[in-house]
Chain A
Amino acid sequence: MSGELLLRPAGEIASAVNTGAVSAREVAEAAIARIEATDGKLGAFTDPTFGRALAEAEAVDTAVAGGATLPLAGVPYAVKNLFDIAGVTTRAGARINDDHPPAKADATLVRQMTAAGAVMLGGLNMGEYAYDFTGENAHHGASLNPHDPTRMSGGSSGGSGTAVAAGMVAASLGSDTNGSIRVPASFCGLFGLKPTFGRLSRAGSFPFCASLDHLGPIARSAADLALIFDALQVDDPADPAQIRRPALDTTPGIDDGIDGLRIAVAGGYFRERGMPEAYAAVDHVAKALGVDREVVVPEAARARGAAYLITTSESSNLHLGRLRERAADFDPDTRGRLLSGAMVPAAWAIQAQRFRSWFREAMRKVLEDVDIILAPATPFHALKSGTKTVTLDGVEMPARPNIGIFTQPISFVGLPVVAVPVWLPGAALPIGVQVVAPAWREDWALRVARYLEASGAVSAPVANS
């Protein structure tokens, strides 16, 4: 029973543990067995923490036996290996960080998960220093797509997608600077939440770009995203970019439906650069929502370009010492990007930040007339592993930076997004659609995602592999 339950949504697992129908220990043992049986060929985990999982599960069982009800009781989860896990080295996907001492304490969001009763199974594979959309890693191997292991998981939170789609855990935590939660959610057929910039604490996670980094959950249901998001919110002075706001409790209203929400499809840039499946997925979701309105996001190509400039210059500043001392130890797919990023003139990067202010105001105006914007999450289904170039709109370009062309303009101005998984008729692979809301309205995006899930328009089945 615990084995079957493991493949159910996190909310069902928590209910079963809270009512005593199953113990957290049994669920943890089922997760460990599934990881041991399947991860060898998928490469999701770099740092399993099975001893910790069993100890946490027993603590949850003791608490439940004592009368406690915990929102994530016994829910097995794992985290991208840029989150600090006490006693584990925070790799951030990098050979260089493998030399770091183990973290002394858990990241803030890991502490929140523990307090809610979730059970930590370990650290997950990722692209080096999160500068990645593929899930490939020269040091730690590739995290592969459970729906077709010859294909990419998507990145940079690759293992966070692989582990959830393969049913090893019910949920994971990842980071998203330009799309690193939404891309693996799209490629692996999962629900992913990138909250508003400044909503969740990033303390105890290894940074990539201070002005663009977000953390958030990946799961197999929209309701699970809401449960986890609610549990993750806490005021944390340790993250200087976090905005002090009242917590947003999204679970109570998750089934409120879409009445009253003005929804539109993003046109222009978001209809010009993808493969047919990207637009078919958006149209499928629009139809399920009864939406035929289109809205143009102004200057989206420039927004994507400005995010690109900020990313390359901020991340290269962060890594400058390592680029000087240990350039040979970087992943070859990351090294050239970071070395060139260290050579970006300041005027380019500052102009990009000024353009960001302009674009923020432009998006505010767009969002005065519309509450939800639908856009593709990725321009195509998961690519074959090792793909180096793609052809979009007749132009051949490098694959790695261009997988995120649709996610990048949205996170550039911090808007909250739920990526929802679409299975088009006859398709062997899933593809995601972004449900974009105004700043601080994660609840609206989650409601739309839940409505789509309840109507059967989107779903995140566990892969058979």
Chain B
Amino acid sequence: MSKPFDAEKHVDHMAEVMGLTIAPEWRQSVVDNMAATAAVAELVLAFPLDDHVEPAPVFEA
């Protein structure tokens, strides 16, 4: 990701987009989880994948 991920801004925006109501007492947990997810996503997205590597939505092992 080019700029540091702003979890608070993302949560506020996506709550509106997705029609989710976040009570004030839940917000910190949502923001913390979003930040943790973004950090994990950065790790996964940093791995280069060939164009021909396709998703495996139904996984046969």
Contact = CB atoms under 8 A, between A and B. Distances in A.
Chain B residues touching A, majority SS = helix
Contact of A301 (B21, B34, B43): B43
Given A339-B20, A339-B22, A357 B61 contact: no
Contact of B49 (A336, A337, A351): A351
Nearest to A324: B19
Contacts of B29: 332, 335-336
A354 B49 contact: yes
A353 B55 contact: yes
B56 A360 contact: yes
A302 interface: yes
B2 to A, nearest CB: 14
A343 B18 contact: yes
Chain A residues touching B, majority SS = helix
Contacts of B22: 327, 339
B59 A356 contact: yes
Most interface-central of A301, A342, A347 (chain B CB within 10 A) = A342
Contacts of B26: 327, 332, 335-336, 339
Size class of the contact patch on chain A: 35 or more
A352 B41 CA distance: 8
A336 B33 contact: yes
A266 to B, nearest CB: 18
Interface stretch (A47-55, A81-89, A172-180, A306-314): A306-314
A161 interface: no
Most interface-central of A211, A340, A345, A398 (chain B CB within 10 A) = A340
13 contacts: A197-B61, A212-B59, A243-B60, A305-B41, A324-B20, A327-B21, A336-B26, A336-B30, A340-B33, A344-B41, A356-B55, A413-B61, A439-B61
Q: Which 9 A-B pairs have the closest CB atoms?
A: A336-B29, A414-B61, A343-B14, A353-B55, A439-B61, A340-B33, A340-B34, A305-B40, A348-B41
